[in-house]
Structure 1
Amino acid sequence: MSDIIQLLPDHVANQIAAGEVVQRPASVVKELLENSIDAGANTIKLIIKDAGKTLIQVIDNGKGMTVTDARLSFERHATSKIRSAEDLFSINTKGFRGEALASISAIAHVELKTKQDGDELGTLIKIEGSTVKHQDVTVTPKGTSLSVKNLFFNIPARRNFLKSNNVELRHIIDEFHRVALAHPNIAFVMYHNGSESFNLPTSNYRQRVVNIFGGKTNEKLVPVEEETEVLKISGFVGKPEFAKRTKNEQFFFVNDRFIKSAYLNHAINSAYEGLIKDGSYPSYFLNLTVDPKTIDINIHPTKTEIKFDDEHTLYAILRSAVKHSLGQFNIAPVLDFDRDNNLDTPYDYKNKGVSSPSVEVDRSFNPFQEETRTSKSTHIVASYKKEPAAQWESLYVGLESKGTKTERHFSEVEFESESENTSLFSEDKLVETTQTTYQLLNKYIISTIKSGMMILDQHRAHQRILYEGFLKHLTIKEAVSQQLLFPLTLEFSLSEMELLLQLKEDLEHTGFVFSAFKDNTISITGVPVNVPESEVSIILEQLISDVEQEVTDSNFSATDLLAKSMSKSLAIKTGQSLTKIEQEHLVNSLFACKEPSVSPTNRVTFITMSVDDFDKKFM
């Protein structure tokens, strides 16, 4: 029987390895940016075309490579980061597997230009599908320029699995933010389709956060500093009043490497316990410095997950450090009209010493002297009552002369008959007896039907009603808007602004009126009918969160996503009390919908219980 196991060719092995390293264009961006950082560059440019599907180019001014290193860098397991197995436990660089360039060159057209300082000419290498097509000397500045064109050109199935350009661009921006935040000492510039998206100069960490997420972020930040033998923490957390409905401003960096950790994230949330509302998420930008020997960063292909030796200690230190910073720096003036100003300490008494209170005693007081005390009190009461009696008597002067006129006046007044009052009372009684809806626990509405009883979830039912209403407005593009007395100005990050620009037309069809889109701010002069002004920011944040979760690519249009997101934000919440008229209107509106039985997220809106079901319970 012939052998069936054989070694795979190198180009096939590289394509398989590319499945781990390169999942989407953002993966290429991450690998190339990290290589530039390891090369010692202090200025890095990222150029993107068509969300990375056509071109991804990274240009740096690092130390460059020799001719031999440039050719060897595209071989598998060729790296300058480690020399022995022991180096895996003390890694301070970014990439170290030596598979990044080999995997990228296996599935794309790659062009490398590199030159070291002091060399007159650099090296040019062109590779297509792991095959070197061209190698020559070239004129190029110091550093390295690596272009990745036509990603997944030889794996069309993988290319078809890529999302839309908007989604892929968001992933690229996320990776760009993570790398830029971890290295504020490096200048980063990003271009997309010829226009500059980000220009981040060298700065301190606070300025880097503000440059990425907008100028008003500065007032939201609370510094966190803590240093122990096990862990050093530095960075910022957001004030509780600025908590967002999205998680796009949560960043952990361990030894300048971005990580995801649900365990450490729980430590942050527990520090904010009682300070933020449910459904809101705090912002944090925290750098954790630990001994490289106490962590294992080789447990995940993308290196975004790390295993710590002692997670419990890190949890306790991180939680206490954040709580301490929130208590120390989160000081805001409180406007409380119910507070008694007399309880405030005057500024003049700030540095004044405390004196002991003195007690005065009437040593001549004798409680057994009843006669004297009674006579005094009787005299006081008598003198008190004498004068008011004369005043009361003056009020009745001339009352007899006015009596006849008063009687004559009231005799001309016609009173309503008692029969009408009786009829009105009976109608009220009739309304109470014909009540058909009841609210249970401010969550469910119970309504009687011919066969028994119907129990309706008020939140899901209202979602369905609003969803079909918004969908109708978006389809016919005729929505009613209510104008605001003063324009509402909201601030978002650059990536969030791009999302809102893409959804601007659909938002206008629902009733929003925008007056300006400038830098990081938008001005709103009109909102849909029945939408409170205070809910506008919540609606837009929820919409951004839904779009970032890639709901738009689940065979649903942006119009459907917008209608779902707005209905979820504006629907009646659990715990809200409804009047009898509101309950009946909700029930009637639900059954006027096309699909009353399910919510926009395909969850049941109501259940029914027949009389037979009740009878079975009593058997």
Structure 2
Amino acid sequence: MSSIIQLLPDHVANQIAAGEVVQRPASVVKELLENAVDAKATDIKLIIKDAGKALVQVIDNGLGMSVTDARLCFERHATSKIRKAEDLFSLHTKGFRGEALASIAAIAHVDMKTKQDQEELGTQIIVEGSKFVSQEVAVLPKGTSFAVKNLFFNIPARRNFLKSDTVEYRHIIDEFQRVALAHPNIYFTFFHNGSEMFNLPPSSMRQRIVNVFSGKTNEKLVPVQEETEIVTIQGFVSKPEFAKKSRGEQFFFVNDRFIKSGYLHHAIMAAYDGILRDGAQPSYFLYLTVPPNTIDINIHPTKTEIKFDDEHAMYAILRASIKHSLGQFNVAPVLDFDRDSNLDTPYSYKNLEGATPTIQVDGSFNPFSDDKINKHYSGSNYKKPEPTSSWESLYVGLKQEGEFISGSSDFSFESEEVTGSLFNEEEVEQTVNNAYQIHKKYIVSPIKSGMVIVDQQRAHQRVLYEQFLTNMTVNQASSQQLLFPLDLFFSATEMELIQDLKLSLVNTGFVFEETTTDHVVISGIPVNVTESEVSLVLEQLLSDLQDGIPDSSFSQNDTIAKSMAKSLAVKTGTALTVKEQENLVNGLFACKDPNVSPFQKPTFITMRVEDLDKKFAL
């Protein structure tokens, strides 16, 4: 009987490893950028074409490689960072995975150029699908250039699973930002389809955050600094009023390596407990330094999750340090340039003491004396006023109510009798009985067979959703012009989304006066959106589209309508007037599909009189 178990050829094994290492172009960007950082580069360029599907190129001025190392780096389990198994638990570098370059070379066309500083000539190697095409001597500058072209060219099934260019580009930006934020001392530049997207010169930690995210970021940051035997914490958190709906600007770095940790995130949310609005997420950029032997970074293939020796202590220290920083921010004095200078003490009165006022009392004054004498005081002296006639004389000459005043026949009194009411009492009583609210959440309205109970938030979502969708697809959306245009700042990733959604947002009624790389100027908004709600609506929309923008225009309109309806719908806990309750109920049953909300949840239930009778039956 023939053998069943066989050893896989190297190129097949490399493709299988590539499925774990390279999920999308952003994975290649991460590996190449980390290798450039480990090569002690001070200037790193990232060049992308077609969201990384056509080209991912990283150029650095690092140490470079010798001819032998240039060839060996494409072999499996080849690494310069590990010598023995114990090194796995004492890592000071980043991309140590042995299959990285071998896996990338197995599924793409790779053109690598490298040269060491002490060498006169460098090496150029071309690999296509794990096959070495050529290795030549070339005149090159110091450092390494790694160009990955036609990703997944030999695995079309994997290529078909890639998302749209917009989504893949967003993932590349995420990986670039993580590496750039972790190393503010390195010069990073990023080009996409020939356009410069980021230019980040060496700077401080705070300035690097401001350069990566818009210029308004600086005023949002609160510094955090704590040093203990277990961990040293540095970085920044955002002020509570700048919290967003999305979780985009949240970064943990442990020993200059980006990680994800739900446990540490919970510690931060605990520090913000009671000072954030519902559903809001704070931004944070926290750099943790711990001894390498106290963490295990091999619990996840992408090395983005790690395990600490003492997680409870980390949780407590992080929570306490952020609470301390937020407390310092809240009590810190704020310069107010709009204060009224008239309230300041004049300089000439600076060293003078205020005079104590004197108190003078008239000991002979008796408020209960029989002689009704009004005494007008002037200091301690008073004088008796001239006696006047009794108060009854003021009404001499007046006749009965409704008659003319004697001697003034030109004037008459207007009757104050109420002749009628603006609303008919019967109608008011009937209206009140038509609908009423329970616990500021449900609206109960009687119907012929019993009663209907409406969830006010879901019902309003359905009404607004159909209004927005109709405006975008059938009617021309109406806009209300703003007297003062709104200037809103966003990150580079969010601006990419807004650029892609701009046409659909214009169809809803938004008017964009100006669009730049980090902010938009809005001069018009939809009719049923208030000025204060614009930023909330856009934040919710960007949060809902984190997983990608639908390709078809109808799906885009549907997504935008759902997001805006969720943002603007009346919330549970809001008291509604009787008129508002009736309008909401009538608007719901005028919809094409009143049974469910835009998110396929029931908007109302009905209870028949028979059902109520059964409840009372013995």
Matching residue of 1:363: none
Q: TM-score, normalised by structure 2?
A: 0.89
From 369, 382, 385, the equivalent of 2:371 is: 382
Distance in 2, matches of 1:616 and 1:28, equals 67
Tell me the residue number matched to 1:206: 206
Q: Distance in 2 between matches of 1:137 and 1:618?
A: 94
> Which segment is superposed worse, 380-389 or 493-502?
380-389
Q: Compute the displacement of 1:611 (Å).
A: 2.2
Change (3 A) 1:257 1:396: same
For 2:197, what is the secondary structure of its paired residue?
strand
Measure the CA separation in 2 of the matches of 1:575 and 1:524.
31
| Structure 1 residues 501 and 391, CA gap change in structure 2 (3 angstroms) | farther
- The residue aligned with 2:393 is 396
Q: 1:406 corresponds to which residue? A: 405
Task: Flag the 1:228–1:396 CA change in 2: closer, same or farther, 3 A.
Answer: same
Residue correspondence of structure 1 range 59-458 to structure 2 within 5 A = 59-330=59-330, 331=332, 333=334, 377=366, 382=371, 384=373, 390-391=387-388, 393=390, 396-397=393-394, 399-400=396-397, 405-406=404-405, 421=420, 427-434=424-431, 435-458=433-456
Task: Tell me if structure 2 keeps the 8 A contact 1:477–1:509.
Answer: no
Shift in CA distance, 346/162, structure 1 to aligned 2, threshold 3 Å: farther
Shift in Å at residue 433 of structure 1? 3.1
Give the Cα–Cα distance (whole angstroms) in 2 for the partners of residues 401 and 609 of structure 1: 66
Q: Secondary structure at the match of 2:405?
A: helix
Change in 2 beyond 3 A, CA 1:449/1:310: same
Structure 1 residues 430 and 80, CA, compared in 2 at 3 Å: closer, same or farther? same
Deviations 1:303-350 (A, max 9, x none): 110011111101111111111111113436599xxxxxx9x9999999
Deviations 1:442-490 (A, max 9, x none): 1111111222221111111111111111111111361111111111111
Residues 297 and 303 in structure 1, CA contact (< 8 A), matched pair in contact too: yes
- Which whole-Å CA distance do the structure 2 matches of 1:347 and 1:273 have between them? 45
How far, CA to CA, are the matches of 2:319 and 2:576 in structure 1?
40
**3-state SS of the aligned residue for 1:577?**
coil
1:141-190 per-residue CA deviation (whole Å, 9 max, x = no partner) reads 11111111111111111111111100110000000000000000111000
Q: For residue 489 of structure 2, what is the amino acid of its counterpart?
A: E
* CA positional deviation for 1:402: 7.3
CA contact (8 A) 2:397 2:405 kept: no
Q: Kindly provide the amino acid, as one letter, of the partner of residue 144 in structure 2.
A: T
Using a 3 Å threshold, how does the CA distance of structure 1 residues 546 and 324 change in structure 2: closer, same or farther? same
SS at match of 1:396: helix
- TM superposition score normalised by structure 1: 0.89
1:599 aligns to what? 597
Structure 2 residue matching 1:180: 3-state secondary structure: helix
- Aligned position for 2:548: 550
CA distance in 1, matches of 2:49, 2:233: 38
1:555-587, CA deviations, whole angstroms, 9 ceiling, x for partnerless residues? 972221111111111111111111111111111
Q: 1:401 to 1:472 in 2, by over 3 A?
A: closer
**Contact 1:65–1:114, Cα closer than 8 Å, also in 2:** yes
1:526-541 to structure 2, matched below 5 A, reads 526-541=524-539
- Could you say if the C-alpha distance between residues 380 and 561 of structure 1 is closer, same or farther in structure 2, counting changes exceeding 3 Å? same
Q: Percent identity?
A: 65
Q: How far apart are residue 56 of structure 1 and its match?
A: 0.3
CA shift, 1:412, in A, is 8.0
* Structure 2 CA distance for partners of 1:612 and 1:348, relative to 1, 3 Å: farther
Relative to 1, partners in 2 of residues 1:438 and 1:410: Cα closer, same or farther, differing over 3 Å? farther
Aligned to 1:487: 485
Q: Tell me the SS of whatever aligns to 1:405.
A: coil
Q: Distance in 2 between matches of 1:477 and 1:125?
A: 59
Report the RMSD for the aligned CA atoms in angstroms.
Answer: 3.1
Moved more, 541-550 or 159-168: 541-550
Question: 1:328 & 1:345 partners in 2: Cα distance?
Answer: 29
Counterpart Cα distance in 1 of 2:367 and 2:276: 64
Between the aligned partners of 2:460 and 2:169, the Cα distance in structure 1 is: 35
- The CA distance in 1 between the partners of 2:203 and 2:348, in whole Å, is 43
Matched to 2:430, the amino acid is: T
TM-aligned CA deviation for residue 516 of structure 1: 1.1
Q: Aligned to 2:550, what secondary structure does the other structure show?
A: helix
The alpha-carbon deviation at position 197 of structure 1 amounts to: 0.3
Q: Which runs of 5+ in 1 are unaligned?
A: 336-341, 354-372
Residue 11, structure 1, aligned to residue 14, structure 2? no
Q: Which amino acid aligns with 2:241?
A: E
Counterpart CA distance in 2 for 1:23 and 1:348 is: 74
Q: Secondary structure at the match of 1:124?
A: strand
> Which position in structure 2 is the counterpart of 1:357?
none
1:574 aligns with 2:563: no
Q: Aligned ranges for residues 461-480 of structure 1 at < 5 Å?
A: 461-476=459-474, 478-480=476-478
Asked if the contact 2:247/2:283 (under 8 Å) is kept, the reply is: yes
Decide which moves more: 247-256 or 580-589: 580-589
Q: After alignment, is 521-530 or 384-393 more displaced?
A: 384-393
> What letter is aligned with 2:426?
K
Q: Which moved more, 1:304-313 or 1:123-132?
A: 123-132
Distance 1:95 1:553, change over 3 A: farther
For 1:304 and 1:254, the matched residues in 2 are separated by: 10
**Cα deviation code 1:21-56 (max 9, x no counterpart):** 111111110011000001110110000000001100
| Whole-angstrom distance in 2 between the partners of 1:604 and 1:116 | 67
**Closer, same or farther: CA 150–376 of 1 in aligned 2, 3 Å:** closer
1:253 partner SS? strand
Q: Return the alpha-carbon distance in structure 2 between the equivalents of residues 350 and 253 of structure 1.
A: 52
| Structure 1 counterpart of 2:458, from 457, 460, 466 | 460
Structure 2: distance between partners of 1:320 and 1:347: 44
| Alpha-carbon contact 1:163-1:553 (below 8 Å) kept | no
After superposition, the Cα gap between the structure-2 partners of 1:477 and 1:425, relative to the gap in structure 1 and judged at 3 Å, is: closer
CA distance in 1, matches of 2:415, 2:352: 71
Q: Contact 1:47 / 1:191 at 8 angstroms: preserved in 2?
A: yes
Q: Any idea what SS the aligned residue of 1:191 has?
A: strand
CA distance in 2, matches of 1:351, 1:455: 71
CA distance in 1, matches of 2:62, 2:101: 17
SS in structure 2 at match of 1:80: coil
Question: What amino acid is aligned across from residue 599 of structure 1 in structure 2?
Answer: S
SS in 1 for 2:371: helix
Distance 1:378 1:501 in 2: 79
* Shift in alpha-carbon separation, 1:584–1:141, aligned structure 2, 3 A: same
- Give the Cα–Cα distance (whole angstroms) in 2 for the partners of residues 492 and 388 of structure 1: 74
Tell whether the 8 Å contact from 1:226 to 1:234 is kept in structure 2 after alignment: yes
Deviates more, 1:407-416 or 1:297-306: 407-416
Distance 1:102 1:425 in 2: 84
From the two aligned structures, give the one with the greater helix fraction: 1
| Post-superposition CA distance 1:367-395 (Å, at most 9, x none) | xxxxxx9x974785636469789457367
SS of the residue corresponding to residue 58 of structure 2 reads strand
In 2, Cα distance between equivalents of 1:390 and 1:107: 113
